[in-house]
C-alpha cells in the first residue's frame, strides 16, 4: 500500500479535529486576555467596574489569582500576567471569562487601565547602548584571530541586520481546560511541548504535576511558536476552569496571537573577516546581538545555535564569535524553525558574497574553495566525519547548469532589459541534537491489542510534519505489520512523561528510536512465544485450551533469545515454521505474556560545555545545497524567483512524500523570511503588521517558477534511526540562496555599496537601485 | 408583509434562519450552529482562504467565497456547499480530495479544507486546468507548511474523468429565493433585504447610519475586528437589474451588484489591458463576492479599481428618494473616506466610455508581495496619442494621498507635448512635486514617491520605448 500522511483523509474532509473543533460541553466558557496597548509602562490603576457588569461576563482575574506568576524555559523571568509593570505591547494583564465572544469583546472595551508610560527600548542598537542584556555573553573561538586578521592580505568589516518573522501557524494558540475531580485538570492544548505545559499549569496553579494531564492531538502548525509559548494560554484556561468549575476554552484570534506571542529573534551581527587573494577565509571575528524581546524565553539557546552555525559549511581556521541577547520592549522572541541557525548562516553566506564581490571572483568558486573537507574541525571542536558537502556543491554545479546560466545572467545584465538577474548558491550544514544535553531523551509506549492491532504513544507531537506516520512506519516494520494495523495515539502526559519539546528537528529521531526499542522488546517476547508454540502440537495451543486450563502455560522468563522473521503479518522461524502474527499475539495474551513495550532513547556521545564553547554538541549533521536565480525589476525593485535547485542529503529517506514536503515547505518559509515577511512597528513599539493583510507570507505565486528538488541517498549515516536524517529545519536555510541571489542582482546594477537587510523587500531592493531615495 | 427569516440550502438540505443568527459571519454560523467545523477560520479577514465554501446564487454556478466575512443575511436564496458536502454518496473521498491525499497536499491540515474548496471552485469552472490556472485559482489561500508545491501537483493530478461538478451533485435550481423583501430585527439591529431600489433609498434615509452590505469583503473584516458595530443593514441582492453589466454604444455600464469577477470577464472580452490588471489583485474568493461599486464606495485610498476607473473618466449614477443624478468619479471623493453622497442616496451603477483606439492604458500596483496584497502605491496612466504627440493625458494614483487622485496639473503639462525622454524626466519631477504620501507599514513616504515616478517611467518604457 502506498503510504500517506496518517491524517490525510481527515485533513481533506475537514474531519480532523483541532482544539476549536471540539464540541462545547455544557456550561463551557470562553477565555481571553486583556493585554497592554503600550510597550513600557507602570500600571497605575485598573478599573473593572463597567467591565464586570457586562452581561455574560463571569470573571476577570489579575496576577493575584495565580499561585506562582513567573515562568521561563531557561530563566524564570516572565510573568503570566503583568502586575505593576508592562514590558511590551501585547503583554497580558487580565484574564477574562465570559459566556460569549461578544461579551468578551464588550468587556475588553469596558476595561479601564491607567498607564504611566516609560521610555521603551525598541531595537538591538538601543539595547546595546543601554546595556540592556539577557543572560551572559558567550564565546566560541579557535586559532588566533587577532594575528590572522592582522596578517591577512584582504580584510573587510560589516554588519548585517535581520528582522524577526512571525510563525503564522494557521491555527493560532488554542487550548481547552476541563476541571476534573480532586483539583485535577485536563488540558487539551495546541502545543509542541505537553510536558512543559503540564509543568507550567501545575506550578502556576499550585498543583502537583500528577494532577495535570495535557493532551495534544495535533497542531495546525507549530514551527517553534508553540514550543514554549503555548503554556501561558493553558495556564489561563486551567485557572478559569478550576475557579469556575466549568470547561474553559481559550482560542486566540490571529490578530491577538501575532500581537501577544514572540517571533523569530531579530539579529544585528557585526563582523570582520580576513581572506587571501583567492578568497580563502583566514580569520573571522564576529559579534552577534539578538533581540530577545522583553523576557528570556529560549533566546539564549537560540543565540548559542546561531554561534554554532556561523561557520556553516566553511572551514575557518581562526575564529572568534561572541553572542549576547538584548532585552527590548517587544514580545519575547522564541524558537522558530532553524532556531539560531538561519541567523548564523545568512551572516557567513553574506560575507562570502562580499568577498567574491571585492575580489571580482564568482561566489560559487569562493564557496567551493572554503567548504569543509572530511576530517577538518569546527571552531567548537567537532570533527567533520561524514561531510559530503564538497560532493554536493560539485553535483549542484553540474545539475543546475550553473556555469551556462552564469554566462547568460551576465549577458542579460549587460543588455537593456527591464530587470537585473542574480544567481547564487548557498549551503546548509545543520547540527542535529538539542544543544542542551538533557533534552536529548525520549520515551514511547506501545500497546498490542489481542486482535493484533497496535497503538503507539510517544512524546512526539504532530504538527503536520508527519512524525506520526514515521513512527507508525517504524512500528509496522519492526513487527511486520501493515500501516493499517498501527495507530498513533494523541500525545498525553499520562502516557509519556518528562518528554522534550518536539523541536530541533529531532522528533522523529528520538521518538522513533524509542518506539523502535519498545517494539523490539515486544518482538523479543513474541519470538520466544513463537518458539514455544512451534514446539507444541496445534491442539495444545492456548486458543483451544486456555479457557479449560488443560495445557501448561507457556513460560518465557528463562528462555534464551530466539530469532524469528516478522514480515507481512506472519512470524516464521529460521526452519520455516510459521504462524500468523495475529494468532501469535492471541497466544501470548492467553499465556499471560506482556504485550506492551516501553522504549527509552537518548542520543549517545554528545556533550557541549556552554562556558568554554567546546565539545561535540551534534549527533550528526544534515547537509544540503541550493542555487537560486532571481530577477529584480530595474524600476520597481520587484523580485521574482525564477528557479531554485535544491540537493539534500537525508540519509536513507523513509517516506519520500513526507520528506519532500518538509523540504518544499521549509524552503518557502525561509524564502518568506528573506523576502516579503517584514514586521513593522510604530515608533512606540506597537506591532502594525498583525494579520495577513499587512504581514505577507509567501503565496502560491511566489514559489520559484522552476523548483527542482533532489534527495540523495547517503548510506553512511548508520547512527540514526533506520539510517535516516532529520529534515524539519535544515531546508529552511537553503532559502538564503534567494537572498544572496537578490544581493547578486543588486550588485550587478552597480549603484554603489549594497545595504541589504533580511528581509530583502521590494522597498529594500528599490532603495539599493535608487540610493538617492534613501531616507 | 416582509419575511422575517432567510432561507438557503446547506449541503442539499433546506435551512431557514432568522433573528440574531443572521447577523453573524457565515463561518461562525457553520461552525457553532451547524457544527460543521471543517470550515476553518484563521485570519477572519478574507486573506487566507481557510474558510472557503462554495455558494450558488440565483441558479448560477457554484463559486468559492470566504465565509468568515460573508454575513449570514447575505445568503438568502443561496445554495451552500461546505467541505463536509464533498464526499461521494458512498462515503469515499471525492477525486479532488483523493488527489490531495495522494500528493501529500496537506501537512498540518488546517488550511487543507480551504484549499480543497478553492480547487473545487477551479474545477467547477474549467474541466482541465493548467499550472498557471492552478496558481491563479489558489492565490486566495495561504499555506504555511507545504510550500504549495504538493498542492499544485495535486491539482494537476486530478483525474477529470472521476471528477463530478458540484452543480451536478447539488442542483442549483432548488435554491431559488422564496421572494419578497426581508426584514429581520434582533437586539436593536435591523436587516432590510430590499426588492426595489426606491424602498432601499427610503430605508437608508429613514435609518441614519445604514450600511449597505454587498460583498462585505471589507465591512465583514471591520466587523470581525471590532471596528464597526452597525445596527442598520441594507442588502441590494434582490433588487432587479443591479447585476447587469455590459456595453452599449461604446459605453460600459456596471450595475451596483456587478462583482469583480463579472467585471473581469467583461474586460477580458473588451479591454484586455484592464483585465490583465484585474488579474493581479483580489483572490478568486474575493472577486466572487466583492463588487466594483463597493470597492469605489468603500473609498479606500489604495482601492485597486479606483485609479483604473478614474483614469477612464468613469461616472456614477446615483439614485435618491427624489430622483437621480450623475457624479464624475474624480469629484466623488471629498476627503479621506468622505463621499459626495446624501443620506438617502445609493450608487446604482458606474459608467465609462470605451477608450479611443489611440489610447494607451497602463495599470500598475506596487505591494510587498506580488499577488493578493494591498497596494502600497497603485497607478493608472492613460495617454491618447496622435503621431508622437500626447493629445490627452490622464494620470490617477492611489496610496499617495487621503483619496485616489488625478494629477490634473501634470496631465495639463503633458497634453499637447511630444513624447521624449526629456518629457519623461520632467514629468517624473512634476509627479514628485504633486504628491505627498505618508509612511506606514506598507511603505515609507520616500519609497512611495519613488514608485509613483518609476511606475510612470515604466509605463513610458513599456509603451513608447522611452
What's the rounded mean pLDDT across residues B334-359?
96
Which CATH number covers residue A87? 3.90.1170.50
Helix, strand, or coil (residue B252): strand
Q: Are A627 and A406 in contact (CB under 8 A)?
A: no
Backbone angles phi, psi at A43, to 5 degrees: -85, 115
Please indicate if any CB of chain B lies within 8 Å of the CB of A691: yes
Contact call for B100 and A11, based on CB within 8 A: yes
Helix axes B112-125, B149-156, angle to 10 degrees: 40
Chain A residues with CB-CB distance to B367 below 8 A: 762
Stated length of chain B: 466
Is the Cβ pair A16, B368 closer than 8 Å? no
Report CA-CA distances (Å) from B373 to A14, A74, B272, B377, B378. 27, 39, 22, 11, 12
Confidence label for B368 from pLDDT (cuts 50, 70 and 90) = confident
Tens of pLDDT, residues B265-316: 999 999 999 999 998 889 999 999 999 999 999 999 999 999 999 999 999 9
Residue A184: exposure state from Cβ atoms within 10 A (0-12, 13-18, ≥19)? middle
> b/e string for B190-205 if b means 16 or more Cβ within 10 A?
bbbbbbebeebbbbbb
Beta strands at B52-57 and B63-66: parallel, antiparallel or unpaired: antiparallel
Cβ-Cβ contacts under 8 Å for B393 (sequence gap 6 or more)? B382, B383, B384, B410, B411, B414, B415
In this structure, are A291 and A389 located in the same domain? yes
Scanning A162-191 for CB atoms below 8 A from B yields 167-172
Shared-domain flag, residues A281 and A205: no
Residue B359 pLDDT more than 90? Answer: yes
Going by pLDDT thresholds of 50, 70 and 90, the confidence category of residue A716 is confident
A292-304 tens-digit pLDDT: 999 999 999 999 9
User: Among A602, A637, A652, which residue terminates a domain?
Assistant: A602
Pairing of strands A441-448, A596-602: antiparallel
A137 in a domain, yes or no?
no
Residue A233's closest CA among A214, A220, A252? A252
Domain match, A370 and A506 both: no
Distance CA A699, CA B142 (A): 6
Q: Is residue A661 over pLDDT 60?
A: yes
Check residue A150 and give its pLDDT: 98
Please tell me the predicted confidence (pLDDT) of residue B465: 87
Q: What is the mean pLDDT of residues B337-342?
A: 96
pLDDT of amino acid A66: 98
- How many CB atoms are located within 10 Å of the residue A401 CB? 12
Asked if residue A753 belongs to a domain, the reply is yes
- State mean pLDDT over A49-75: 98
Helices (H), A428-489: 467-479
How many angstroms away from the CA of B198 is the closest CA of chain A?
A: 34
B31 pLDDT higher than 90 = yes
Sign of CA dihedral B438, B442, B444, B445: negative
Please state, in angstroms and rounded to a whole number, the distance separating the CA atoms of residues A628 and A363: 13
Query: What's the rounded mean pLDDT across residues A543-567?
Result: 92
Residue of B nearest to A218 (CA): B108
Q: Chain A: residue nearest B364 by CA?
A: A636
Are A491 and A459 a contacting pair, CB within 8 Å?
yes
**Which of A602, A621, A652 is the endpoint of a domain?**
A602
CA distance A468 to A217: 11
Q: Least CB-CB distance to B101: which of A4, A105, A635? A: A4
> Where residue A235 falls among pLDDT bands split at 50, 70, 90?
very high
* Section A536-561 average pLDDT: 91
Same domain, A489 and A626: no
- A209 and A85, same domain (yes or no): yes
Are A671 and A694 contained in the same domain? yes
CB B155 within 8 A of CB B129: yes
Q: How confident is the model at residue B177 (pLDDT cuts 50, 70, 90)?
A: low
Please give the Cα distance from A436 to A76 (Å, whole number). Answer: 17
Domains identified in chain A, total number: 3
Summarised one tens digit per residue, pLDDT across range A340-350 is 999 999 999 99
Q: Which residue out of A91, A203, A272, A729 is catalytically annotated?
A: A729
Inside any domain, residue A469: yes
Report how far Cα A406 is from the mean position of its chain's Cα atoms: 35
- pLDDT reading at A200 higher than 90: yes
Confidence band for B174, pLDDT divided at 50, 70 and 90: low
pLDDT band at B171 (very low <50, low <70, confident <90, very high): confident
| Structural domain includes residue A715 | yes
Report the percentage of chain A scoring pLDDT > 90. Answer: 95
What confidence category does residue B113 fall into, taking pLDDT thresholds of 50, 70 and 90?
A: very high
C-alpha cell at A608: 557541549
pLDDT in tens, A3-33: 899 999 999 999 999 999 999 999 999 999 9
Residues in B closer than 8 angstroms to A222, CB to CB, are 108
| Residue among A17, A20, A667 minimizing CB distance to B147 | A667
Q: Please tell me the predicted confidence (pLDDT) of residue A722.
A: 83
Residues A271 and A239 in one domain: no
CB–CB of B66/B51 below 8 Å? yes
Complete DSSP assignment for A665-724 = HHHHHHHHHHTT----B-TTS-BS--STTTS----GGGS-SEEEEEEE--TT-TTSGGGB
Would an 8 Å CB–CB cutoff place B49 in contact with chain A? no
Instruction: Pick the residue from chain A with its C-alpha nearest to B53.
Output: A14
Determine, yes or no, domain membership for A303: yes
What count of other Cβ atoms lies within 10 Å of the Cβ of residue A546?
Answer: 17
Range list of β-strands (E), A99-190: 112-117, 133-142, 154-162, 174-179, 185-189
User: Do A92 and A240 have their domain in common?
Assistant: yes
Cell readout for A671 is 524564502
- Judge whether A56 is closer than 8 Å to chain B, CB to CB: no
**3-class secondary structure, A641:** strand
Q: Which residue of A has its CA nearest to B109?
A: A11
Backbone phi and psi for residue A595, each to the nearest 5 degrees, phi listed first: -115, 25
* Residue A157 resides in a domain: no
- What pLDDT is attached to residue B371? 74
Query: What is the rounded distance in angstroms from the CA atom of residue B79 to the CA atom of residue B62?
Result: 8
Percent of chain A at pLDDT above 70? 100
Expressed as residue numbers, the domain containing A38 is 8-119+173-251
**Does residue A336 share a domain with residue A206?**
no
Are residues A334 and A274 both part of a single domain?
A: yes
Indicate whether A262 belongs to any domain.
no
Q: Are the C-beta atoms of residues B332 and B369 closer than 8 Å to each other?
A: no
Residue A2 scores a pLDDT above 80? no
Q: How far is B434 from chain A (nearest CA, A)?
A: 17
Pick the closest to residue A346 from A672, A731, A736 (CA basis): A736
In this structure, are strands B189-193 and B182-186 parallel, antiparallel, or unpaired?
antiparallel
**Host H or E run for residue A663:** helix A656-674
3-class DSSP state of A57: strand
Query: How close A66 comes to chain B (CA, Å)?
Result: 30
All three cell numbers of A338, joined, read 532553524
In a domain, A307, yes or no: yes
Task: Give the pLDDT score at A549.
Answer: 87
Rounded to 5°, angle at Cα A269 from A268 and A271: 155
pLDDT-derived band at B30 (thresholds 50, 70, 90) equals very high
Q: At A574, which CATH number?
A: 3.30.365.10
Among A548, A582, A602, residue at a domain's last position: A602
Q: What is the ipTM of this complex?
A: 0.97
Which residue of chain B is at minimal alpha-carbon distance from A683? B440
Judged on CB neighbours under 10 Å (0-12, 13-18, 19+), A368 is middle
Distance from CA of A421 to the nearest CA of B (A): 18
Can you tell me the distance from the alpha carbon of B74 to that of B70, in angstroms, rounded to the nearest whole number? 7
Question: Which residues, listed in sequence order, are joined to residue A96 by a DSSP beta bridge?
Answer: A32, A60
Same domain, A393 and A446: no
Residue from the list A223, A418, A775 with its beta carbon closest to the beta carbon of B444: A775
The total of other beta-carbon atoms located within 10 Å of residue A594's CB is: 13
Q: Which residues pair with B203 in a beta bridge?
A: none
Q: How far apart are CA A172 and CA A189, in angstroms?
A: 11
Q: Mean pLDDT of all residues in chain A?
A: 96
B207: left (phi over 0), alpha (psi -120 to 50) or beta: beta
Would you call B44 and A5 a contact, using CB atoms and an 8 Å cutoff? no
Residues near B166 by beta carbon (within 8 Å), at least 6 away in sequence:
B54, B56, B62, B81, B120, B124
Residue B86: name the closest of B62, B64, B108, B116 by CA. Answer: B116
Which residues of chain B lie closer than 8 angstroms to A691, CB-CB? 43, 45, 47
Distances (CA, A) of A106 to A62, A258, B218: 18, 21, 22
CB contact under 8 A, A171 and B86: no
Of B39, B106, B367, the CB nearest to A8: B106
pLDDT score at A672: 98
- How far, in Å, CA of A99 to CA of A29, rounded? 5
In this structure, is the dihedral angle defined by the CA atoms of residues A130, A135, A140 and A141, taken in order, positive or negative? positive
User: How far apart are the C-alpha atoms of A706 and A695, rounded to whole Å?
Assistant: 25
Phi-psi region of A652 (alpha: psi -120 to 50; beta: other; left: phi over 0): beta
- Identify which of A33, A272, A307 has the alpha carbon closest to the alpha carbon of residue A156: A272
**Span A584-617, pLDDT tens digits:** 999 999 999 999 999 999 999 999 999 999 999 9
What do you get for the CA distance between the two ends of chain B, in Å? 65
How many degrees, rounded to 5, is the angle at CA A298 between CA A295 and CA A303? 105
Chain A and chain B share a number of CB contacts under 8 A equal to 238
Domain co-membership, A424 together with A446: no
3-state secondary structure of B207: coil
Give yes or no for a contact between B60 and B68, defined as CB atoms under 8 angstroms apart: no
Q: Which residues of B touch A697 (CB under 8 A)?
A: 142, 144
d(C-alpha B27, C-alpha B89), whole Å: 24
Does residue A729 carry a catalytic annotation? yes
Identify the weakest region by mean pLDDT among A484-488, B23-27, B177-181.
B177-181
Q: pLDDT for B48-87, tens place per residue?
A: 999 999 999 988 999 999 999 999 999 999 999 999 999 9
- Give φ, ψ of B186 to 5 degrees: -160, 130
Alpha-carbon distance of A495 to B178, in angstroms, equals 56
Amino acid at each position: 500500500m502506498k503510504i500517506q500522511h496518517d491524517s490525510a483523509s481527515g485533513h481533506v474532509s475537514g474531519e480532523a479535529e483541532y482544539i476549536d473543533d471540539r464540541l462545547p460541553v455544557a456550561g463551557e466558557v470562553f477565555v481571553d486576555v486583556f493585554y497592554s496597548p503600550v510597550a513600557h509602562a507602570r500600571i497605575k490603576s485598573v478599573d473593572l467596574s463597567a467591565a464586570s457588569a457586562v452581561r455574560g461576563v463571569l470573571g476577570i482575574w489579575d496576577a493575584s489569582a495565580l499561585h506562582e506568576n513567573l515562568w521561563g524555559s531557561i530563566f524564570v523571568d516572565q510573568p503570566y500576567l503583568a502586575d505593576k509593570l508592562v514590558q511590551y505591547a501585547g503583554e497580558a494583564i487580565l484574564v477574562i471569562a465570559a459566556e460569549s465572544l461578544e461579551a468578551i469583546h464588550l468587556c475588553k472595551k469596558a476595561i479601564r487601565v491607567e498607564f504611566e508610560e516609560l521610555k521603551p527600548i525598541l531595537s538591538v542598537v538601543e539595547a546595546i547602548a543601554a546595556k540592556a542584556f539577557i543572560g551572559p555573553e558567550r564565546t566560541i573561538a579557535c586559532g588566533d584571530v587577532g594575528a590572522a586578521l592582522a596578517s591577512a592580505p584582504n580584510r573587510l568589516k560589516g554588519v548585517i541586520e535581520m528582522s524577526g518573522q512571525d510563525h503564522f501557524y494557521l491555527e493560532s494558540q488554542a487550548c481547552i481546560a476541563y476541571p476534573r475531580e480532586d483539583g485535577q485538570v485536563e488540558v487539551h492544548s495546541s502545543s509542541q511541548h505537553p510536558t512543559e505545559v503540564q509543568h507550567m499549569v501545575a506550578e502556576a496553579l499550585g498543583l502537583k504535576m500528577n494532577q495535570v494531564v495535557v493532551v495534544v492531538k495535533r497542531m495546525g502548525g507549530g514551527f517553534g511558536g508553540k514550543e514554549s509559548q503555548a503554556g501561558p494560554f493553558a495556564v489561563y484556561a486551567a485557572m478559569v476552569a478550576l475557579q469556575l468549575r466549568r470547561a474553559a476554552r481559550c482560542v486566540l484570534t490571529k490578530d491577538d496571537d501575532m500581537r501577544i506571542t514572540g517571533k523569530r529573534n531579530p539579529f544585528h551581527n557585526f563582523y570582520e573577516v580576513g581572506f587571501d587573494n583567492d578568497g580563502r577565509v583566514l580569520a573571522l571575528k564576529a559579534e552577534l546581538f539578538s533581540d530577545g524581546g522583553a523576557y528570556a524565553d529560549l533566546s539564549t539557546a537560540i543565540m548559542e545555535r546561531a554561534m554554532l552555525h556561523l561557520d556553516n559549511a566553511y572551514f575557518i581556521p581562526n575564529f572568534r564569535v561572541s553572542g549576547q541577547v538584548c532585552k527590548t520592549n517587544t514580545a519575547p522572541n522564541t524558537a522558530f524553525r532553524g532556531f539560531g541557525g538561519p541567523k548564523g548562516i545568512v551572516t557567513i553566506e553574506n560575507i562570502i558574497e562580499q568577498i567574491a564581490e571585492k575580489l571580482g571572483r564568482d561566489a560559487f568558486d569562493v564557496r567551493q574553495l572554503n567548504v569543509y573537507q572530511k576530517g577538518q574541525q569546527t571552531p567548537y571542536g567537532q570533527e567533520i566525519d561524514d561531510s559530503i558537502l564538497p560532493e554536493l556543491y560539485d553535483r549542484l554545479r553540474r545539475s543546475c547548469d550553473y556555469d551556462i546560466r552564469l554566462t547568460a545572467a551576465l549577458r542579460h545584465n549587460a543588455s537593456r532589459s527591464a530587470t537585473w538577474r542574480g544567481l547564487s548558491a548557498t549551503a546548509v550544514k545543520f547540527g542535529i541534537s538539542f544543544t542542551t544535553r538533557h533534552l536529548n531523551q525520549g520515551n514511547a509506549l506501545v500497546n498490542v491489542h489481542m486482535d493484533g492491532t497496535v497503538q503507539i504513544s510517544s512524546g512526539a507531537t504532530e504538527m503536520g510534519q508527519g512524525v506520526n506516520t514515521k513512527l507508525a512506519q517504524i512500528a509496522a516494520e519492526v513487527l511486520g505489520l501493515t500501516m493499517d494495523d498501527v495507530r498513533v495515539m494523541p500525545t498525553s502526559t499520562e502516557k509519556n512523561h518528562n518528554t522534550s519539546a518536539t523541536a530541533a528537528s529531532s522528533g522523529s529521531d528520538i521518538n522513533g528510536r524509542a518506539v523502535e526499542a519498545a517494539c523490539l522488546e515486544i518482538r523479543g517476547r513474541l519470538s520466544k512465544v513463537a518458539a514455544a508454540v512451534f514446539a507444541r502440537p496445534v491442539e495444545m495451543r492456548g486458543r483451544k485450551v486456555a479457557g479449560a486450563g488443560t495445557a501448561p502455560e507457556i513460560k518465557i522468563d528463562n528462555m534464551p533469545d530466539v530469532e524469528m522473521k516478522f514480515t507481512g503479518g506472519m512470524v516464521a522461524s529460521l526452519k520455516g515454521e510459521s504462524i500468523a502474527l495475529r494468532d501469535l499475539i492471541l497466544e501470548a495474551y492467553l499465556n499471560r505474556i506482556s504485550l506492551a513495550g516501553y522504549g527509552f532513547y537518548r542520543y549517545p556521545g554528545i556533550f557541549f560545555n556552554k562556558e568554554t564553547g567546546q565539545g561535540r554538541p551534534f549527533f550528526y549533521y544534515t547537509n544540503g545545497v541550493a542555487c537560486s536565480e532571481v530577477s529584480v525589476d530595474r524600476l520597481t525593485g520587484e523580485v521574482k524567483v525564477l528557479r531554485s535547485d535544491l540537493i539534500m542529503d537525508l540519509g536513507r529517506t523513509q517516506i519520500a512524500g513526507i520528506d519532500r514536503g518538509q523540504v518544499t515547505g521549509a524552503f518557502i518559509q525561509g524564502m518568506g523570511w528573506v523576502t516579503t515577511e517584514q514586521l513593522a512597528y510604530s515608533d512606540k513599539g506597537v506591532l502594525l503588521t498583525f494579520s495577513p493583510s499587512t504581514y505577507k507570507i509567501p503565496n502560491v505565486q511566489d514559489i520559484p517558477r522552476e523548483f527542482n528538488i533532489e534527495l540523495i541517498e547517503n548510506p553512511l549515516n548508520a547512527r540514526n534511526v533506520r539510517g535516516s536524517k532529520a529534515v524539519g529545519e535544515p531546508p529552511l536555510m537553503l532559502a538564503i540562496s534567494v537572498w544572496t541571489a537578490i544581493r547578486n542582482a543588486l550588485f550587478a546594477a552597480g549603484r554603489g555599496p549594497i545595504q541589504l537587510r533580511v528581509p530583502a523587500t521590494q522597498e529594500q531592493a528599490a532603495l539599493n537601485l535608487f540610493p538617492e531615495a534613501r531616507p | 408583509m416582509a419575511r422575517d427569516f432567510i432561507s438557503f440550502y446547506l449541503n442539499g438540505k433546506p435551512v431557514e434562519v432568522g433573528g440574531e443568527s443572521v447577523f453573524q459571519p457565515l463561518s461562525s454560523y457553520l461552525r457553532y450552529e451547524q457544527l460543521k467545523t471543517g470550515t476553518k477560520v484563521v485570519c477572519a479577514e478574507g486573506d487566507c482562504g481557510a474558510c472557503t465554501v462554495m455558494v450558488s446564487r440565483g441558479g448560477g454556478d457554484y463559486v468559492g467565497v470566504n465565509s468568515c466575512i460573508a454575513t449570514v443575511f447575505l445568503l438568502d436564496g443561496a445554495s451552500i456547499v461546505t467541505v463536509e458536502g464533498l464526499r461521494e454518496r458512498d462515503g469515499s473521498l471525492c477525486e479532488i480530495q483523493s488527489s490531495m491525499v495522494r500528493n501529500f497536499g496537506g501537512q498540518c491540515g488546517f488550511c487543507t479544507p480551504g484549499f480543497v474548496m478553492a480547487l473545487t471552485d477551479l474545477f467547477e469552472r474549467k474541466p482541465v486546468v493548467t499550472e498557471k490556472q492552478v496558481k491563479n485559482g489558489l492565490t486566495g489561500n495561504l499555506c504555511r507548511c507545504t510550500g504549495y508545491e504538493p498542492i499544485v501537483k495535486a491539482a494537476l493530478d486530478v483525474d477529470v474523468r472521476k471528477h463530478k461538478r458540484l452543480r451536478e451533485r447539488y442542483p442549483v435550481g432548488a435554491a431559488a429565493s422564496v421572494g419578497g423583501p426581508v426584514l429581520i430585527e434582533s437586539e436593536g439591529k435591523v436587516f432590510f433585504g430590499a426588492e426595489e431600489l426606491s424602498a432601499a433609498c427610503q430605508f437608508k434615509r429613514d435609518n441614519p447610519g445604514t450600511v449597505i452590505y454587498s460583498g462585505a469583503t471589507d465591512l465583514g473584516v471591520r466587523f470581525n475586528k471590532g471596528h464597526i458595530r452597525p445596527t442598520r443593514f441594507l442588502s441590494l441582492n434582490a433588487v432587479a437589474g443591479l447585476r447587469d453589466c455590459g456595453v452599449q454604444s461604446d459605453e460600459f455600464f456596471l450595475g451596483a451588484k456587478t462583482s469583480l469577477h463579472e467585471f473581469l470577464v467583461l474586460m477580458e472580452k473588451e479591454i484586455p489591458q484592464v483585465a490583465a490588471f484585474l488579474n493581479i489583485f483580489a483572490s478568486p474568493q474575493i472577486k466572487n463576492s466583492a463588487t466594483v461599486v463597493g470597492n469605489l464606495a468603500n473609498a479606500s485610498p489604495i482601492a485597486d479599481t479606483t485609479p483604473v476607473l478614474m483614469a477612464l473618466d468613469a461616472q456614477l449614477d446615483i439614485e435618491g428618494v427624489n430622483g437621480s443624478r450623475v457624479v464624475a468619479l474624480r469629484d466623488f471623493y471629498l476627503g479621506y473616506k468622505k463621499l459626495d453622497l446624501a443620506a438617502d442616496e445609493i450608487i446604482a451603477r458606474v459608467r465609462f466610455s470605451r477608450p479611443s483606439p489611440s489610447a494607451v492604458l497602463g495599470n500598475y500596483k506596487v505591494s510587498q508581495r506580488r499577488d493578493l496584497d494591498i497596494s502600497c502605491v497603485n497607478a493608472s496612466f492613460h495617454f491618447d496619442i496622435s503621431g508622437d504627440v500626447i493629445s490627452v493625458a490622464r494620470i490617477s494614483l492611489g496610496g499617495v494621498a487621503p483619496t485616489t487622485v488625478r494629477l490634473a496639473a501634470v496631465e495639463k503639462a503633458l497634453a499637447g507635448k511630444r513624447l521624449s525622454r526629456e518629457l519623461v524626466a520632467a514629468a517624473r519631477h512634476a509627479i514628485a512635486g504633486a504628491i505627498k504620501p505618508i509612511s506606514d507599514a506598507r511603505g515609507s513616504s520616500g519609497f512611495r514617491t519613488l514608485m509613483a515616478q518609476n511606475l510612470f517611467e515604466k509605463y513610458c518604457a513599456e509603451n513608447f520605448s522611452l
